């Protein structure tokens, strides 16, 4: 039986929106004078900053850390079992260095790309993060859709996103991508797919790496009332490749297969109608001891051999992470935890600012590498290097890592 179904599956009504949980707590500034943090626990004055004023991604993550109750933080930032996959996502990125060329005129740098024919101003998008959006924001899906649209990119909206799949797409003119979890029989799927088509989404993304619910032990131990998903999970567990063909036909939209981690499955995905192969291990929340996303990217790109577009996510927290994934053949890159952090820290404006800072980091990295267009990127820009430090979900942000180590909320 999948985890948490009895002991930790608490009624939906027991899930308090974070805003309410946070409101019940003392203001952050007063709280940080305690033993854990000392007088300087909040030296950046984050509590005074409006979301649009965050200067760094690190501040966004720190603000979220101070705002979120510990179990919700753990739910967002944790992974399955020993969290080896989660750490490998970062380790794989950290094991690559960027090469740089100098004396190139980099005043103009083109970051634009396309996804299924749709223009993206830069190659980053909010990945689907299910019901989490609704936990930390009263609006959820529409807020993320608007934030992405305001920065010229598109958002993936998960099946569990609140308030409804229709509300998210109605919030923006830009075509969004609907991400499907299968929680019912064919009639149930048909109902959802018909709604997706009617709502005028741009593509269907079927997540294929969640046939079982990963054992996220932080949630089990904290007792956070996180459901393992709505509806009947066994339908997801019984999915097979032919179902993809049927779903694509029914919805009449381009198909994205999310959660591909091998060359073999990349080939099968293309053969079963995938227009986009999305390399992902669910941010390390599903199979433990899997390979890091960036470690499998090259084999997937080779196997796809130009027959589909390739997206990727996993451990991406910096513009340089995005650049590395692009070098290995990803067309655009998703952020999951970082989306959750920015929505928690600053709502819609926080997500927009996160995307803006991501874009700034990518532009800065490319400028310093002597690259004027992401089209120039390729494996020749990368070198394998020894990893420094201990990769984790907070290791890309030294100030945050330090705050977490000191438990300085």
Give the torsion through C-alpha atoms of 200, 283, 10, 230, to 10 deg.
Answer: 30
Cβ closest to ligand FMN, residue 32 vs residue 85? 85
Cβ closest to ligand FMN, residue 8 vs residue 207? 207
Minimum gap (Å) between residue 331 Cβ and ligand FMN = 16
Cβ closest to ligand FMN, residue 37 vs residue 142? 142
Q: Is 392 in the site for ligand FMN (CB under 6 A)?
A: no
Lateral strand order in the sheet of 156-158: 124-126, 332-335, 309-313, 276-279, 255-260, 203-207, 177-180, 156-158
In the set 153, 169, 236, 280, which binds ligand FMN (CB under 6 A)? 280
User: Using CB under 6 A, which residues numbered 85 to 114 contact ligand FMN?
Assistant: 89
Q: Is 134 in the site for ligand FMN (CB under 6 A)?
A: no
Residue nearest ligand FMN, CB atom distance: 336
Cβ closest to ligand FMN, residue 42 vs residue 222? 222
282 is known as an active-site residue: yes
In the set 120, 303, 304, 335, which binds ligand FMN (CB under 6 A)? 335
In the set 340, 346, 347, 391, which binds ligand FMN (CB under 6 A)? 340
User: Using CB under 6 A, which residues numbered 200 to 219 contact ligand FMN?
Assistant: 207
In the set 37, 51, 92, 128, which binds ligand FMN (CB under 6 A)? 128
User: Using CB under 6 A, which residues numbered 309 to 328 contact ligand FMN?
Assistant: 313-316
Q: Is 126 exposed, middle or buried (0-12, 13-18, 19+ CB in 10 A)?
A: buried
Minimum gap (Å) between residue 2 Cβ and ligand FMN = 15
Minimum gap (Å) between residue 360 Cβ and ligand FMN = 18
Q: Is 225 in the site for ligand FMN (CB under 6 A)?
A: no
Q: Say which of 137, 272, 282, 289 is annotated catalytic.
A: 282
Q: Is 71 in the site for ligand FMN (CB under 6 A)?
A: no
Contact 259, 236 (CB under 8 A): no
Alpha carbon distance 57, 399 (integer Å): 11
Q: By rule CB under 6 A, what count of residues binds ligand FMN?
A: 26
Minimum gap (Å) between residue 372 Cβ and ligand FMN = 27
Q: Is 78 in the site for ligand FMN (CB under 6 A)?
A: no
- Among the residue ranges 50-58, 307-315, 360-368, 398-406, the one whose residues contact ligand FMN (CB under 6 A): 307-315
- Among the residue ranges 126-134, 301-309, 355-363, 394-402, the one whose residues contact ligand FMN (CB under 6 A): 126-134
Q: Is 129 in the site for ligand FMN (CB under 6 A)?
A: yes
In the set 174, 248, 331, 337, which binds ligand FMN (CB under 6 A)? 337
Task: Report the candidate in 4, 345, 396, 385 with the shortest Cα–Cα distance to residue 147.
Answer: 345
Question: Can you give the binding site for ligand FMN, defined by CB under 6 A?
Answer: 76, 89, 127-130, 132, 158, 160, 179, 207, 258, 280, 282-283, 285, 313-316, 334-338, 340
List active site positions: 282
């Amino acid at each position: 039986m999948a985890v948490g179904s009895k002991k930790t599956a608490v009624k939906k009504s027991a899930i308090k929106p974070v805003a309410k949980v946070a409101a019940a707590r003392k203001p952050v500034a007063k709280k940080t004078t305690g033993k854990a943090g000392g007088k300087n626990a909040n030296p950046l004055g984050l509590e005074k900053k409006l979301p649009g004023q965050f200067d760094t991604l690190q501040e966004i993550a720190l603000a979220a850390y101070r705002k979120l109750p510990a179990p919700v933080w753990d739910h967002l930032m944790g992974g399955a079992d020993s969290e080896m996959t989660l750490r490998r996502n970062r380790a794989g990125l950290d094991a690559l260095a960027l090469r740089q060329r100098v004396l190139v005129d980099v005043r103009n740098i083109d970051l634009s790309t396309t996804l299924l024919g749709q223009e993206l101003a830069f190659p980053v998008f909010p990945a689907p993060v299910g019901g989490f959006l609704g936990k930390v924001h009263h609006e959820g899906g529409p807020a993320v859709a608007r934030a992405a649209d305001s920065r010229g990119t598109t958002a993936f909206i998960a099946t569990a996103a609140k308030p409804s799949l229709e509300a998210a797409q109605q919030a923006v003119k830009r075509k969004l991508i609907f991400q499907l979890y299968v929680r019912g029989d064919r009639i149930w799927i048909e109902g959802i797919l018909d709604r997706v088509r009617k709502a005028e989404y741009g593509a269907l993304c079927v997540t294929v790496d969640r046939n079982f619910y990963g054992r996220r032990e932080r949630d089990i131990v904290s007792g956070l009332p996180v459901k393992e998903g709505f509806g009947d999970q066994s339908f997801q567990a019984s999915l097979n490749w032919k179902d993809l063909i049927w779903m694509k036909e029914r919805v009449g939209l381009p198909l994205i297969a999310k959660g591909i981690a091998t060359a073999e499955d990349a080939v099968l995905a293309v053969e079963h109608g995938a227009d986009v192969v999305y390399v992902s291990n669910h941010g390390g929340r599903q199979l433990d001891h899997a390979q890091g996303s960036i470690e499998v990217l090259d084999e997937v790109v080779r196997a796809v051999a130009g027959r589909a577009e390739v997206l990727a996510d996993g451990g991406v927290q910096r513009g340089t992470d995005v650049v590395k994934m692009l070098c290995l053949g990803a067309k655009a890159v998703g952020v999951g935890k970082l989306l959750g952090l920015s929505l928690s820290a600053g709502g819609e404006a926080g997500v927009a600012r996160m995307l803006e800072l991501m874009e700034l980091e990518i532009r800065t990295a490319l400028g310093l590498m002597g690259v004027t267009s992401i089209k120039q990127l390729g494996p020749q820009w990368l070198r394998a290097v020894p990893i420094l430090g201990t990769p984790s979900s907070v290791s890309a942000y030294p100030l945050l890592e330090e705050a977490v180590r000191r438990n300085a909320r």
